[in-house]
């Protein structure tokens, strides 16, 4: 179980020491990292750890723990966030985990957007520095449950905030092949991708990327869901791309999930319910929603955690678990 994060830790007894993890290879940072460096150079209470390889993240976190930082800023994409959360949970470098703030340093930046961090990374960082300097960090803290993922490969569990399977991974790979090379704005690219993927399934295209192999989903509420699923989502975020909320709210588990069967009927019902803001209520044929702390998924379908894609080991289930909460900064 994760310890409750500290509300403040400081380097001089007054101003919290801020530790920044910057992934130099992430999409936004290839263009904006110089501006972040200039801003950091003017701040006396900042420890900036820069890296090209996410395998360096544990080293950065150990340095932050030794320095007793009071705020960790993750400057990278969703994959960088996942690697950081995984190291925090598996390596346990902190006696108590400081609050985490996110800069939109990647391409998709879904997690950053959910926490209100939109725009250029240096502008978001400047706002964070003002909040810290004015002693208002506590007012911006919110909690998010963490999801750990075990794909049966013997590796330590990965940790993140958004999980997808069913046709979701096919959709992500289609978007990366067809939309990302166009270099259009991210929001427009996401809208085009979602519209095309859903339309291809609604009109009955058998080759639709949302068509996936059969799976069995077993949440800890006793249900056993089996079939072909166009969308399977499990998340602890408040909203996803384009502000969509395709998950259940009822229940007590930390993970909000949904499973939408592949087919015109379930997809039409899901689209209409999302448009009317009723999706979380459930009760739709072919659309399953709820909350859980533990979910087991059987089947050969690839899965994604915060944009990173994994293939399940043959004969082994994929297991999602919620070990507890961490504090994040909401802007």
- What is the rounded radius of gyration, in angstroms, for the C-alpha atoms of the chain? 20
Which of 24, 32, 16 lies closest to 123, judged by CA?
32
**3-class secondary-structure state, position 295:** strand
pLDDT of residue 204: 65
Q: Are residues 209 and 132 in the same domain?
A: no
> What is the span of the domain harbouring residue 140?
18-144
Say if strands 100-104 and 71-76 run parallel, antiparallel, or are unpaired.
Answer: parallel
Residue 252 inside a domain? The answer is: yes
CA distances from 25 to 9, 57, 75, 88, 189 (A): 29, 13, 11, 21, 21
pLDDT of residue 252: 83
Residue 224 inside a domain? The answer is: yes
Residue 6 inside a domain? The answer is: no
Q: What angle do CA 15, 18, 23 make, to 5 degrees?
A: 165
- Alpha helices in 148-263, H assignment, sequence order: 168-178, 186-202
Residue 73 inside a domain? The answer is: yes
Q: Are residues 124 and 169 in the same domain?
A: no
Residue 268 inside a domain? The answer is: yes
Tell me if the pTM is above 0.95.
no
Q: Are residues 168 and 293 in the same domain?
A: yes
For the chain, the first-to-last Cα distance in angstroms comes to: 27
The number of folded domains in the chain is: 2
User: Cβ contacts of residue 118 below 8 Å, gap of 6+?
Assistant: 104, 109, 112, 124
Q: Are residues 240 and 170 in the same domain?
A: yes
CA distance 155 to 177: 29
Q: pLDDT (tens digit, 0 to 9) for every residue of the chain, 331 residues total?
A: 333 333 333 344 467 899 999 999 887 788 889 999 999 999 988 999 999 999 999 999 999 999 999 999 999 988 899 999 999 999 999 999 999 999 988 888 899 999 999 989 999 999 999 999 999 999 999 999 999 999 999 999 999 999 999 999 988 888 888 888 888 887 788 888 888 888 888 876 667 888 889 999 999 988 999 999 999 999 999 999 888 899 888 778 999 999 999 988 999 999 999 989 889 888 899 999 999 999 999 999 999 999 899 999 999 999 999 999 999 999 9
Q: Are residues 241 and 140 in the same domain?
A: no
Q: Are residues 275 and 176 in the same domain?
A: yes
Q: Are residues 134 and 168 in the same domain?
A: no
CA distance 79 to 85: 10
């Amino acid at each position: 179980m994760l310890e409750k994060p500290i509300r403040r830790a400081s380097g001089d007894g007054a101003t919290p020491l801020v530790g920044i993890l910057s992934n130099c290879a992430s999409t936004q940072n290839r263009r904006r990292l110089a501006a972040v460096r200039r801003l950091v150079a003017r701040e006396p209470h900042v420890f900036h750890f820069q890296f090209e390889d996410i395998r360096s993240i544990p080293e950065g976190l150990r340095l932050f723990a030794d320095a007793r930082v009071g705020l960790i800023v993750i400057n990278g994409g969703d994959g960088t966030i996942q690697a950081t959360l995984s190291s925090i949970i598996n390596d346990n470098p902190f006696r108590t985990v400081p609050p985490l703030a996110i800069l939109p340093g990647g391409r998709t930046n879904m997690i950053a957007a959910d926490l209100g961090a939109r725009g250029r990374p240096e502008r978001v960082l400047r706002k964070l520095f003002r909040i810290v300097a004015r002693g208002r960090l506590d007012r911006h803290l919110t909690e998010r449950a963490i999801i750990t993922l075990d794909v049966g490969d013997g590796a330590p569990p990965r940790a993140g905030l958004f999980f997808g399977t069913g046709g979701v991974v096919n959709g992500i790979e289609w978007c990366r092949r067809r939309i990302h090379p166009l270099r259009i704005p991210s929001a427009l690219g996401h809208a085009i991708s979602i519209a095309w993927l859903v339309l291809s399934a609604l009109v009955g295209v058998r080759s639709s990327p949302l068509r996936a192999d059969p799976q069995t989903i077993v949440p800890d509420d006793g249900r056993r869901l089996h079939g072909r699923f166009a969308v399977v989502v499990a998340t602890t975020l408040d909203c996803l791309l384009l502000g969509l909320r395709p998950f259940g709210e009822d229940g007590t588990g930390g993970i909000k999930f949904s499973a939408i069967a592949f087919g015109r009927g379930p997809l039409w019902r899901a689209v209409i319910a999302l448009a009317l803001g009723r999706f979380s209520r459930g009760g739709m044929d072919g659309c399953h929603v709820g909350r859980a702390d533990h979910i087991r998924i059987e089947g050969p379908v690839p899965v994604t955690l915060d944009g990173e894609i994994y293939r399940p080991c043959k004969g082994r289930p994929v297991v999602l678990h919620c070990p507890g909460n961490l504090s994040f900064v909401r802007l």
